[in-house]
Structure 1
Amino acid sequence: MGVWIDISQPINNNLACWPGDQSFHFHTPVTKEMTGSVNIGRITTSTHVGTHADAPYHFMEDGKRILDLEIDRYIGPCKVIDLSAFDEIDETALKSKVKEDTERLLIRTSLPNNPEQFPTDVTPITSDGAAYMHFLGVKLVGVDTPSVDPLSSKELVGHHALFKHDINILENVMLDQVVEGDYEMIALPLPLQDADGSLVRAVIKPINGGNHDAK
C-alpha cells in the first residue's frame, strides 16, 4: 500500500511570493505567558503564495470565487507527468505523455522546486494545450510553477483558455521527487467565500500500490 506524499510548499516566513504581492508572515502576538493558558498565532498572506488554487475571480471580474468551485475537483484520481523537456505545455508536449482520459493532471516542468526563490521564467500552458486537456476530460490541472502563464503576461492566455474549457487550476505543487504515474489526490482549498484564491495542502498516494513512491 502506498503512503501519502505531501506535494505542498512548506509555508513559512521565508516563502517566496509574487514580486510586489503580500508575503506570508506568521507571528504570535498573544503568548501563553501573557494569557496564562494559550498561544494565539496570527498570519498575514496573499491568497496566491505557496501551493494554491486559483478561482476564476482571480482573472475575471465576474468569475466564481473559491467557495463557488466544485469541491469534487480537488479530490480523486490524478496522473503525474513529466514535461521538463518542453518549453511549453502545448498539445504536442501533452500527447507525448498522455492519450487516455484523465480528470486530474499534475505536470512537472523544468523549474526546480525552490519555495524560497521566486522564478524568473516558467513553462506556460498554451491554448491548444488547454484544448487537448479538455479532449482528455481534464477538470483540474496542477503545475509546479507560480503561474500557468509567462510571468510578464497581462493577457493570461493560459488562465483564460483553461477557464474556457472548464479546467480548474492548482499552482506551485512540488513534484521534483515524484515519479510519473497514477495517484489519488487530495488538494482542498479553504472555504473562503469571496476569495480569488486559496492556499492548499496537496497530497497524493500511488493507486493500487504501484511503484510511484517519491524518488
Structure 2
Amino acid sequence: MDPAEFCLDPRTELIDLTHPMTPGMPTWPTHPHYCQEIVESYDRGDVACNHRLEMSEHTGTHFDAPLHFVRDGASILDMPLTRFFGRLATISCTGCAPCELVGPDRIRRFEDEHGALAAGDAVLFHFGWDRFWADPALHQHFLADWPGLSAEASELLVDRRAGIVGSDCLSIDGFANTTFPAHRILLGADVLVGENFANLGRLPAYCHLAALPLAIEGGSGAPARAVAFVRRGEGRS
C-alpha cells in the first residue's frame, strides 16, 4: 500500500511519539533548560495569550542534523522533507542492561524475524527509557545509565541506508560515552539521529512515520512532532 493511502485509511491509528514540552523536563547537562514564560495573558488584562520560549535545538523529542557533529555538515533545514515520511522499523531492546550497547546481531535477528530493512527506513530502538520521562522523581534515572547503539550497529545501519536512526533515550550513544561513535558514524553518513521518542512500545515491528522538525536556518537539530501510523490491532500493546 502506498504510504499516503495508509495514512488516510480509517483503519489506521495515530500514535504520538512526542513528549510534551514542559518546564522541568530532562535535558542534556550542557544544554539550556526548557523555559516557558508568560508574555501576555487574559489574567493580566491582555487581549491575547502568548508565551516566550527558551530551549536548545535538541530539546525534547528532536532530530540531530549532520551539522551537530560534522563541521560544515548539512543543517536541519538542508534535509529533504521526504526524509521525515516513510516506513518505520521499531526494534525492541527492553531487555538491555543499563549502559549496554546494541550490536549488529540484534538488528540482524530483527530482520530475520520481521523482514529486511530497506533504504530510507527510519529505525527506532525501544529501550523503554521513556518510562522515566514524565515523573520528576524519576528524572535521575532517565539522565543516567541509558543503553545505546554500538559503532558496529551504526555502521550496519549506514550499510542498510537507513534514513533516520533513533531511540527513546537522551542520546543514541550509550551513557558516559565521550567519543560519540554512533553520532559520528550516522551523521557522517547523512543519517539523521532522533532522540527522546515516546510510546515506542506501542508500535509493531513495521509501520509508518511522519515527523517534521522545526525549520531552523543553520540548525544543528530541531524539536519535532513525531507520529506513527499503525494499522489498528497491530500494535504491541
Answer whether TM exceeds 0.5 for this pair.
yes
Q: Compute the displacement of 1:55 (Å).
A: 1.2
Q: Which amino acid letter does the alignment assign opposite residue 235 of structure 2?
A: D
Q: CA RMSD in A?
A: 2.0
Higher helix residue share: 2
Q: Does structure 2 retain, via aligned residues, the 8 Å contact 1:85–1:110? A: no
The 3 A distance-change label for structure 1 pair 147 and 51 is same
Q: Does structure 1 retain, via aligned residues, the 8 Å contact 2:127–2:147? A: yes
Q: What is the TM-score with the length of structure 2 in the denominator?
A: 0.82
The 3 A distance-change label for structure 1 pair 214 and 94 is closer
* Greater Cα shift, 11-20 or 195-204: 11-20
Query: Over residues 151-183 of structure 1, what are the superposed CA-to-partner deviations in whole Å (9 max), with x where a residue is unaligned?
Result: 333321110111243321111111354143221
Counterpart of 2:6 in structure 1 is none
CA distance in 2, matches of 1:36, 1:174: 36
SS in structure 1 opposite 2:131?
coil
Is residue 2:233 matched to residue 1:211? Answer: yes
Out of 202, 208, 222, the position equivalent to 1:178 is 202
Identity of aligned residues (%): 21
In structure 1, stretches of 5+ residues that fail to align are none
Out of 121, 127, 133, the position equivalent to 1:109 is 127
Q: What is the TM-score with the length of structure 1 in the denominator?
A: 0.89
Q: Does structure 2 retain, via aligned residues, the 8 Å contact 1:21–1:46? A: yes
Query: Over residues 6-40 of structure 1, what are the superposed CA-to-partner deviations in whole Å (9 max), with x where a residue is unaligned?
Result: 01111111211112321111121222355642111
Q: Does structure 2 retain, via aligned residues, the 8 Å contact 1:143–1:171? A: yes
Counterpart of 1:94 in structure 2 is 107
Counterpart of 1:12 in structure 2 is 22
Matches within 5 A, 1:127-138: 127-138=151-162
The 3 A distance-change label for structure 1 pair 179 and 36 is closer
Equivalent residue pairs, number: 213
CA distance in 1, matches of 2:123, 2:63: 14
Matches within 5 A, 1:160-171: 160-171=184-195
* Greater Cα shift, 63-72 or 3-12: 63-72
CA distance in 1, matches of 2:28, 2:117: 33
Q: Compute the displacement of 1:112 (Å).
A: 4.4
